[in-house]
Amino acid sequence: ESATVEAWLYDQKGNPVTDGPIAVSKTEHNMPSGTLTQAFLRAEISNPKKWTAEHPHLYNVLLVLKDNEGKTLEITRT
């Protein structure tokens, strides 16, 4: 069964930082259920608020795992 991952980036107030999902590197593996793999995210962020000790700007990433029919299987926020 195939699956896809969507990634969304939010600022510390919960506002979306990008216009849509961030591209996740496509990896095709014939993997048994329960095994691990890696994927990489890359996005251009205009005027990012950088983290400093005085202004600890943090961003949240929302990862959405979907099956081949587009049904959400799992959501994780970091």
CATH of residue 21: 2.60.40.10
Q: How many structural domains compose the chain?
A: 1
More confident residue, 61 or 28: 61
Domain that holds residue 3: 1-28+40-78
Domain presence at residue 34: no
Pairwise CA distance, residues 13 & 11, whole Å: 5
User: Which whole number is the average pLDDT over 49-59?
Assistant: 91
Domain presence at residue 68: yes
Residue with tokens 């959400």: 72
Which pLDDT does position 46 carry in this prediction? Answer: 86
CA atoms within 13 A of residue 36's CA, in its CB half-sphere: 1
pTM score over 0.95? no
Measured over the CA atoms of residue 54, residue 8, residue 20 and residue 42, the dihedral's sign is: positive
User: Which whole number is the average pLDDT over 3-7?
Assistant: 86
Domain presence at residue 35: no
